[in-house]
């Protein structure tokens, strides 16, 4: 239970479309109901934070973004039963917990997913964070708004992790890493001996490559336009790397796989890559779409290619992850040395958040992690 009504915190605010993040003092109210107050140790920065900053989706501004938080429980609301003060936790996406998909364990397809993660997560229109002038900041982005020294999550998106795990590393498991790994393990169900194609070798695509190796795919092809990313992809498990800037890159994939890939994951968000990815599939091949494009983006497909070859395409949200299972599993695999997602990250002090964003956009950093504890 909380002993205070409001607490002084520091947040990184996005004040307008495309604006730099500004570190500002703010106030956060105490947790209510099933809410959990988390003292943030570190948070990942995901491409999704940057596309929301740029208003691909109309999240209200000014807002506190950030949705890959990792921290320590500092207080709990009266309805919280499964967490205690001092627990180490990773924060993930929000879900209502009682709609039809949630009742089937398909929480990333919660009927309220968009509203809960990109809209007003409380449903009451009230923000828990106010700025130095007492004005509300849009908060609880992905039920957390983790670009902050403290955040309010809810019990069902607050995942307990072992105390001996490296907490400062774990935040990205809450979104980008579980999306790539979950897409391979849960959604596509990549099989041993198969050919897997990762269209995009960013944080999500690299996590998919790590997972494809884990589940036994024997041909793992990374596609990107950045040679250094392709090099890293090879180091962490890709058996082949193909640069999409080269003419005839789809033919290269068909030659490597002797006809086409069994499974593919599109994480570039580029409709032209999706189109070409479908043509790089083998008969009965499946392509999963995780890359986000501006709303209204259209992709071209020849329906005959789908029909005659029995190919399929499916959208994937958060790797179909049941976070309470997948996140601890990925932590264990990492601690056993079998899921080296630490190869993807670079740490930045919280007050260098704009440098982290710039490096991420320039392709210099794959997965920035902002160290918050002790850096404000
Ligand atoms: P990222 O920017 O790290 O990775 C994207 C990669 O695509 C980069 O390596 C980039 O070089 C590559 N790329 C871009 N255009 C290309 C092209 N024409 N040819 C080849 N490669 C190209 O981003 P990320 O963090 O890996 O996220 C990937 C996407 O997934 C983003 O759109 C993000 O918003 C989305 N995402 C979706 C979910 C979900 O649940 N569906 C979850 C997390 C992230």
Choose the final residue of a domain: 278, 300, 316: 316
Question: Each residue of 4-63: pLDDT tens digit?
Answer: 789 999 999 999 999 999 999 999 999 999 999 999 999 999 989 999 999 988 889 999
Shared-domain flag, residues 169 and 243: no
Q: Where residue 124 falls among pLDDT bands split at 50, 70, 90? A: low
Comparing CA positions, the residue from 225, 247, 229, 246 lying closest to residue 238 is 229
Residue nearest atom 43 in ligand 1 by C-alpha distance? 176
Distance 316 CA to ligand 1 centre (A): 13
Q: Which of 48, 67, 295, 364 to mutate to test the pocket of ligand 1 (most atoms within 8 A of CB)?
A: 48
Shared-domain flag, residues 164 and 42: yes
Question: Each residue of 185-224: pLDDT tens digit?
Answer: 999 999 999 999 999 999 999 999 999 999 999 999 999 9
Distance 269 CA to ligand 1 centre (A): 6
What per-residue confidence (pLDDT) applies to 121?
54
Distance 121 CA to ligand 1 centre (A): 25
Residue 344, ligand 1, Cβ within 6 A: no
Shared-domain flag, residues 234 and 354: no
Shared-domain flag, residues 262 and 282: yes
Shared-domain flag, residues 64 and 25: yes
Shared-domain flag, residues 256 and 351: no
Percent residues over pLDDT 70 in the chain = 98
Q: Where residue 297 falls among pLDDT bands split at 50, 70, 90? A: very high
Ligand 1 atom having least distance to the Cα of 290: 41
Residue 158, ligand 1, Cβ within 6 A: no
Distance 367 CA to ligand 1 centre (A): 11
Judge whether 278 lies within some domain. yes
Domain count, the chain: 2
Identify the three-state secondary structure at position 357: helix
**pLDDT for residue 241 is more than 60:** yes
Shared-domain flag, residues 63 and 195: no
Judge whether 330 lies within some domain. no
What per-residue confidence (pLDDT) applies to 294?
86
What per-residue confidence (pLDDT) applies to 122?
61
Judge whether 326 lies within some domain. no
Residue 39, ligand 1, Cβ within 6 A: no
Residue nearest atom 35 in ligand 1 by C-alpha distance? 291
Residue 266, ligand 1, Cβ within 6 A: no
Residue 121, ligand 1, Cβ within 6 A: no
Question: Each residue of 79-121: pLDDT tens digit?
Answer: 999 999 999 999 999 999 999 999 999 999 999 999 999 986 5
Beta strands in 194-292 (DSSP E): 195-199, 219-224, 240-243, 261-266, 281-289
Shared-domain flag, residues 145 and 59: yes
CATH for 159: 3.90.180.10
What per-residue confidence (pLDDT) applies to 125?
65
Residue 203, ligand 1, Cβ within 6 A: yes
Shared-domain flag, residues 143 and 250: no
What per-residue confidence (pLDDT) applies to 119?
83
d(C-alpha 69, C-alpha 150), whole Å: 10
Distance 79 CA to ligand 1 centre (A): 37
Instruction: Report whether 229 contacts 362 (CB < 8 A).
Output: no
Compute the average pLDDT of residues 350-355. Answer: 98
Ligand 1 atom having least distance to the Cα of 243: 20
Shared-domain flag, residues 25 and 163: yes
Distance 204 CA to ligand 1 centre (A): 7
Distance 81 CA to ligand 1 centre (A): 37
d(C-alpha 331, C-alpha 170), whole Å: 8
Beta-ladder partners of 349: 371
Judge whether 333 lies within some domain. no
Pairing of strands 367-371, 345-349: parallel
Q: Is the pTM of this model over 0.85?
A: yes
Q: Which residues, 6 or more positions from 282, have their beta carbon under 8 angstroms from its beta carbon?
A: 195, 257, 259, 260, 261, 262, 309
What per-residue confidence (pLDDT) applies to 260?
98
Shared-domain flag, residues 187 and 301: yes
What per-residue confidence (pLDDT) applies to 69?
98
Shared-domain flag, residues 153 and 73: yes
Judge whether 334 lies within some domain. no
Question: Each residue of 319-349: pLDDT tens digit?
Answer: 999 999 999 999 999 999 999 999 999 999 9
**pLDDT for residue 123 is more than 90:** no
Judge whether 158 lies within some domain. yes
Higher-confidence residue of 61 and 124: namely: 61
**pLDDT for residue 3 is more than 70:** no
Mean pLDDT of all residues belonging to the chain? 95
Judge whether 335 lies within some domain. no
Choose the final residue of a domain: 300, 316, 332: 316
* Domain boundaries, position 51: 6-174+340-371
**pLDDT for residue 282 is more than 70:** yes
Residue 186, ligand 1, Cβ within 6 A: no
CA quadruple 79, 114, 45, 18: dihedral sign: negative
Number of H helices, E strands in the chain: 12, 18
Judge whether 1 lies within some domain. no
Distance 266 CA to ligand 1 centre (A): 8
**pLDDT for residue 1 is more than 50:** no
What per-residue confidence (pLDDT) applies to 376?
78
Residue 277, ligand 1, Cβ within 6 A: no
CATH for 234: 3.40.50.720
């Amino acid at each position: 239970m909380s002993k205070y009504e409001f607490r002084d915190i520091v947040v990184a605010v996005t004040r307008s479309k495309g604006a730099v993040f500004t570190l500002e003092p703010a106030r956060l109210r105490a947790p209510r109901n099933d809410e959990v107050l988390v003292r943030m140790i570190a948070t990942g920065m995901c491409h999704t934070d940057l596309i929301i900053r740029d208003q691909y989706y109309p999240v209200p501004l000014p807002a506190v973004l950030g949705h890959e938080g990792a921290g320590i429980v500092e207080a709990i609301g009266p309805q919280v039963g499964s967490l205690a003060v001092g627990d180490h936790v990773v924060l993930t996406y929000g879900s209502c917990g009682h709609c039809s998909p949630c009742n089937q364990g398909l929480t990333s397809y919660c009927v309220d997913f968009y509203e809960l993660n990109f809209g007003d997560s409380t449903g009451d229109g009230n923000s828990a964070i106010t700025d130095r002038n007492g004005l509300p900041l849009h908060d609880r982005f992905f039920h957390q708004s983790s670009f902050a020294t403290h955040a309010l999550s809810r019990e069902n998106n607050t995942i307990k992790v072992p105390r001996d795990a490296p907490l400062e590393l774990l935040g990205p498991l809450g979104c980008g890493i579980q999306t790539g790994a979950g897409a391979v393990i849960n959604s596509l169900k990549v099989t041993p001996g198969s050919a897997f194609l990762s269209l995009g070798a960013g944080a999500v695509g690299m996590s998919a490559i790590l997972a494809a190796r884990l589940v036994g795919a024997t041909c793992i092809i990374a596609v990107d336009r950045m040679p250094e990313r392709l090099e890293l992809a090879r180091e962490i498990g890709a058996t082949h790397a193909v640069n999409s800037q080269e003419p005839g890159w789809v033919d290269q994939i068909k030659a490597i796989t002797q006809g086409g890939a069994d499974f593919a994951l599109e994480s570039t968000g580029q409709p032209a890559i999706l189109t070409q990815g479908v043509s790089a599939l083998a008969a009965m091949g499946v392509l999963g779409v995780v890359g986000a494009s501006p709303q209204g983006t259209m992709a071209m497909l020849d329906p005959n290619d789908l029909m005659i070859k029995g190919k399929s395409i499916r959208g994937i949200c958060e790797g179909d992850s049941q976070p309470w299972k997948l996140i601890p599993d990925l932590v264990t695999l990492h601690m056993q040395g079998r899921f080296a997602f630490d190869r993807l990250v670079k740490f930045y002090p919280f007050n260098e958040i704009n440098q982290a964003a710039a490096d991420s956009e320039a392709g210099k950093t794959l997965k920035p992690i902002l160290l918050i504890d002790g850096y404000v």
